Amino acid sequence: MLRMTVDRKSSYISVGHSCSTELWDALKQLPKRKHPLFKELVTIIEKKTNDAKRSLLKLENQKENFSTEELKGKILRNSKKITVFGYFEVIINELRATERISYAQSHKDLLRELKKFTKNKDIKFSDINSHFLRNFEHTFRERGLKPNTIGIYFRTLRALYNKAVKDDYAQRETNPFADFSISHMKNKTLKRAITKSEVKKIQTLSYEEGTSLFNCRNYFLFSFYCSGINFIDVAKLTKDNFTSIDNKVFIRYTRSKTKENFLLQLIPAAVEIYQYYAENNLDDYIFPFLSNLENKSAVSIYNRLHKTKRQVNANLKTIAETVGISVKLTTYVARHSFATVLKRNGISTSKISDMMGHANESITQTYLDEFENDQIYEASLLLE
């Protein structure tokens, strides 16, 4: 056993082997030379002791005070062996448990690509070096994947490696991403937006109530009027997300992507769409995209919306063709059009950033202080 003592409190960790009293040298704290496995046991004990000392050194560098149990936990984590594929499964399960289904799927997709690259041969974190990463990138480029897609895979892998370092499954000193840049794996995406007059064309379209084109048109307009709220968040809205105060209608929701909370006053055009569905939809959900879904688990919701989003984009394409819009209309265009229309009307980029929930203005220019709800409402009125 390895004995650890911190502030006179001791704890023990087994080295995984035993030795009879007759073959043990109590003074040297090692097996006697006549032990048939003397060399092997001494090697194991020395390795376990050195590993424990490294864990102690790391802990001392991280904090001044720590307990015996903290040290023991650190040593045990360092002694655990876990493969890259095994760690992926752990993280995927953790993400699913916390209902971060989309991020879990990103890790699952990356794991599939890694298995393809290694021909299903599991690897250790020490196998991931700059040479490995260059070859991994090269295979993507040979297959013709776009830089942005490659970048998503590598950012996910970098995040997983950094987490493995924190969990003591990978070494910070040998982190390959310290020397391997992924900044070049990004093309500037051409943002698509439509004008306010084109939005009005969509608004004037007449479709039979209850049809998919009717619902998709209303979704697009609602998203546009509500700070570009994305498709998943619109689809998840229930009647509980809405409240009326002094004849004003507010929406309160948590953005799925960032977990940030939003409170937004609906402008009249958005209130009209909300009231229609609140009165006509018997389901708890405002929009019908999740209606009749028996299993309300996070995975079931993700799968339904992943499939439905493709259908919505197909309908939006039809809507665009009907009114003569040349821009490829998708669920995301409502979000970018919202920002573009406000920008053209003189609203500051910082205010637009706040309304859209951007973390900083590398997405919309600089993330500044919060604005009063009535200021956001006044800005939104420019959309009508």
Predicted confidence at residue 31, as pLDDT, reads 92
Element (H, E) at 2: strand 2-6
Report how far residue 229's alpha carbon sits from residue 225's, in angstroms, rounded to the nearest whole number.
9
Single-letter amino acid code for the residue at 44: I
> With 0-12 CB in 10 A as exposed, 13-18 as middle and 19+ as buried, what is 375?
middle
| Contacts for 11 with CB less than 8 Å, ≥ 6 apart | 3, 4, 68, 69, 71, 72
What is the C-alpha to C-alpha distance for residues 201 and 191, in angstroms, rounded to an integer? 21
> Which residues make beta-bridge pairs with 254?
261
Residue 356 makes CB contacts below 8 A (sequence gap 6+) with 227, 228, 335, 338, 339, 364
Tokens read off for 87: 């760690």
Residue 319 pLDDT: 95
Domains of the chain: 2-79 (no CATH), 84-178 (1.10.150), 196-383 (1.10.443.10)
The model's pTM is: 0.62
Residues 6+ apart with CB under 8 A from 46: none
Phi then psi dihedrals of residue 334, to 5 deg: -60, -40
Q: How many CB atoms lie within 10 A of CB 296?
A: 10
Q: What is the pLDDT of residues 183-231, one digit of tens each?
A: 888 765 556 788 888 889 999 999 999 999 999 999 999 998 888 888 9
CB burial class (10 A; 0-12, 13-18, 19+) of residue 179?
Answer: exposed
58 near 148, Cβ under 8 Å? no
Distance (Å, whole) CA 276 – CA 280: 6
SS3 217: helix
User: Which distant-in-sequence residues (6+ apart) come within 8 Å of 227 by Cβ?
Assistant: 262, 264, 338, 355, 356, 357, 376, 380
Ramachandran quadrant class, 246 (left: phi over 0; alpha: psi -120 to 50; beta: rest)? left
Which ranges of the chain have pLDDT less than 70?
73-74, 76-80, 187-191, 344-384
